[in-house]
Structure 1
Amino acid sequence: MAIDVRSATEAYLHLIPLARELAATAYTREAHWLLLCSKLVALAIAALLARIDLAAMLAASLRSRAKPNRSAFAISFVILFSYFALEMPWFAVADWHRERSYGFSHQPLAAWAAEYAIQSLVTALVGAPLLAGFYAAARRTGPRWWVWGTGLAALGLVLALVVQPVALAPILHRYAPAPAGEMRTAVERLVASGGVGGVGGDRILVYDGSRQSSRYTASVTGIGSSATVLLSDAMFAQGADVGAVRAVVAHELGHQRHAHPLQLAIFLTFVVGVGLLVAQRSFKSSARLLGRSELSLADPAGLPILLGIFAVYTLVTTPLVNTAERLVEADADRYGLELAREPDGMARAVLATADYRASRPTRLEEFLFYDHPSNARRIEAAMEWKADHAASAASALRCADCRSGNAARPSADLAGAEKCNAASDGIHEGI
């Protein structure tokens, strides 16, 4: 029987209770204002640090002109860590308190603060040597400094998007092999069919994600035979829908198979390169505005001014970056549908995000603020795939029912969606 894509999409979206949809819309649009406020806070902190002149407060041995690279490292580290420390109260409200107020997290403030401090320390330790290289290039290469700066930015982005999540994970979470059962078996088969060799039960791990959030999520780290599938323990605690989990894991495998983190790092390198040219043109006027006209771009004491410029620049380029991320997420959705062949599982997984992502934004709102396609678009894409593969999907469903001993029911897909909608707190933004 032919599938009416529009009707099937609306049937899923109508499963979202009105009160839940209104709350999600409020949460989502509040985030839009918080984005602007975050950039204003960052700009204010940058201006404060520029006026305080932390570089002048360092011991003379740490800011020796005879050892400019060591001096640049020390100054950059102190400024970066101070910047993150001053941002902490804002994020305690905008992140920790807000998530708790909406019921998405029950993490104690002390635990959140400890994780924030660890991430800030690691970022400062990684960022300081990169900035020391940047300032060395600015001192030595003259007008071509931005080329070297862009190259260092590329290295930093690869570290941030590809290496840092893997390096930080063992510090922030505890891991254990996934327990034997239907879910692990389903994930093992899915990974094997995705061509990621060597991923057995010992490479499918459960981590304590529920400590931070009641949303369940999955991710894939590593490449090829070193790939590891990470499942939040919230999946098991909530008795997650296996079809939806297959869809989520297949989506994450799409990111891994298509090297999306690396693609984003390349794109963001271009964005940062343009930002460095903007900084070159605007640094002097910005320094004069803050009463620090004696500073130059090659002086690490001017790092707060550079951070302030980039706070404004990243706000302006947010729609461009969000568009790149939406394209990547849509590509992972397509890969996941082809791999898992779970269009209804995908729709149920997307529905689980309806608590914290408005499902029907305007086109302008989606363009400006959404780093994923809207829920309505993602469900519609899944239903389009289902319509295009109706015969093969029906055959796969019959085979699955034969293996499990269950009889197929015409209403199974939407019944499963209703169960998932009622029982699940959602899937993390990673889906």
Structure 2
Amino acid sequence: MKEMITLDEYSLRNIIMILIWAEYSWEAYLSYRQCRKAISTDKVPDELSTVMSKEEFEKARLYSLAKLAFQSVKDTQSILLSSYVIYFGPLAVAWNYATNINPLSDGEVTISCIWLFLISLASAILDLPFAIYYIFVLEKKFGFNNQTAGFFIWDKIKEFIVSQIIMMIISSIVIIVIKNGGPYFFVWLWAIVCVISLILLTIYPSVIAPLFDKYTPLPEGELRTQIEKLASELKFPLTELYVVEGSKRSKHSNAYIYGFFKKRIVIFDTLLAKDDGTGCKNDEILAILSHELGHWSYNHITKNIIAMQLNLFLVFAVFSVMFKYPPLYQALGFYNIQPVLVGLFVVLTYVLKPYNTLLNFLMTCLSRRFEFQADDFAVKLKKADALERALLQLNKDNMGFPVNDKLFSAWHHSHPPLLERITVIRESSRKLN
């Protein structure tokens, strides 16, 4: 029996390794395709020849290649770290250390929280050099970074503290439910996590987001009047209209709609028109918000939440079947104990990797469909021309490279490529007229 368990342990470990290396190889192949596409494309597409100069196109191409190279290095570090975790058992070592420093005589909840903190701290430290390079080297080189070192450090500290508080609370609840919920604990676990996620989505705009960025009401004026009129015409229950000080971080721009009960529209200050030619004009901002209101009109957010909750239920159900399987823990060095949080980590991260990969692709496909629907909504509001100009301006301001390998784009881009969106918008506008 012991030999069979040992065999199962090594077999499971090898299967996990095959899965993570297969995904890494696939991602590397896709990145190679996109890199080859960017290197071989040195001419501005005809559709953009009047709005994008040769110099701007070249800079966007180099920015794209730099991000691909950075991601390749980061992915390599990630796969090597995962291999180390699986073969050398540092998670079990961290658990033993957490047990030794546990202030209580027993209690899996306390040990799990200490263990989770140690793992999170190690992960944050390992990720820090990449974050520093990306923001202060890569982004700065292409003129996007506005962060100071002090802002970056304080931001990371706040991010770590907030994430730890949330994770500790959720993890403690998860452990208690699993250990006391009986044979159908996964149903109770799913219901409780569902409620927690909805609470977090509700309080995020008013409690969590202001910890990181400054939100101020959009000043009275033509733009605010036009936005309020648009919301009124569409019967959108707008309660708050904010400008977020995104320029303290970078020059990238965006806008979004958020909230369940209190609907808010948030516009990045970098999206507003500037004297240097960046940003969007009022009619272009209205077109962008018409697109966002399209997501609201078609209930895309609700549909995504439902899909997320169905996925959670399935994941918890699978976990309920597998979490008492000893080799699941032995594969990561846990031979004498079976902490439920470790089991959940193994199932979510490794066992369900093929499922998660497929699900991510399907959700990307669904997201692209939603984006086309939102674009069509804006077109029906007679915003086609303004939306096209806005997309071109955003692509220019964010230095987006408009040429993509089809397979890479289909796998990674939750938003359709620029040229494809413009083509569909023009066709929809033509049919409407």
Which residue identity lines up with residue 231 of structure 1 in the other structure? Answer: I
Q: Who is 2:424 aligned against?
A: 381
Q: Percent identity between the aligned chains?
A: 17
Alignment partner of 2:62 out of 14, 23, 26: 23
CA-CA distance at 1:210 after TM superposition: 0.7
Farther-moved stretch of structure 1 (239-248 vs 140-149):
140-149
- Over 3 Å counting, the alpha-carbon distance change for 1:57 and 1:68 in structure 2 is closer
**Cα offsets for 1:88-128 (capped at 9, x unmatched):** 33333345543333322221233123223222221221122
Q: Distance in 2 between matches of 1:31 and 1:157?
A: 32
How high is the TM-score relative to the length of structure 1?
A: 0.72
The Cα of 1:50 is off from its aligned counterpart by 0.1
Structure 2 CA distance for aligned equivalents of residues 260 and 114 of structure 1: 34
1:222 offset after TM fit, Å? 2.8
Counterparts of 1:46 and 1:303 in 2: how far apart (Å)? 16
Does residue 50 of structure 1 match 2:87? no
Residue 267 of structure 2 is aligned to residue 231 of structure 1: yes
Indicate the SS of the match to 1:372.
Answer: coil
Separation (CA, whole Å) in 1 of partners of 2:85 and 2:298: 37
Matched-pair contact (CA < 8 Å) for 1:45–1:83: no
Determine if contact 1:50/1:305 at 8 Å carries over to the other structure: no
Q: Residue 365 of structure 2 is aligned with which of 319, 323, 327?
A: 323
- Asked if the contact 1:209–1:233 (Cα under 8 Å) also holds between the matched residues in 2, the reply is yes
The one-letter amino acid paired with 1:373 is P
Which letter does structure 2 place at the counterpart of 1:92?
A: I
How well do the aligned residues superpose, as a CA RMSD in angstroms? Answer: 3.6
In structure 1, what is the Cα distance between the partners aligned to 2:123 and 2:96? 13
Inter-partner Cα distance in structure 2 for 1:117 and 1:324: 35
Q: Which runs of 5+ in 2 are unaligned?
A: 1-44
1:275-290 matches, within 5 Å, as: 275-276=315-316, 281=322, 284-285=326-327, 287-290=329-332
Q: How do residues 25-424 of structure 1 correspond to structure 2 at under 5 angstroms?
A: 25-26=64-65, 29-30=68-69, 33=72, 36-37=75-76, 39-40=78-79, 43=82, 49-54=90-95, 56-57=97-98, 62-65=103-106, 67-94=107-134, 97-141=137-181, 144-155=184-195, 157-159=197-199, 161=201, 163-197=203-237, 199=239, 203-223=240-260, 226-236=262-272, 238=274, 240-276=280-316, 281=322, 284-285=326-327, 287-298=329-340, 300=341, 305=346, 308-309=349-350, 312=353, 314=356, 317-339=359-381, 341-351=382-392, 352-353=394-395, 355-390=398-433
1:24 to 1:83, Cα distance in 2 relative to 1, 3 A: closer
Deviations 1:250-283 (A, max 9, x none): 2223334444334323222333444456666497
The 3 A distance-change label for structure 1 pair 118 and 327 is farther
1:196 partner amino acid:
F
CA contact (8 A) 1:206 1:231 kept: yes
Which one-letter code corresponds to 2:404 in the other structure? P
Deviation at 1:29, TM superposition (A): 4.1
Size of the aligned set, in residue pairs, is 375
Q: Distance in 2 between matches of 1:375 and 1:174?
A: 30
Which gives a bigger RCO, structure 1 or 2 (Cα 8 Å, sep 6+)? 1
Q: Structure 1: any 5+ residue segments left out of the alignment? A: 1-8, 391-431
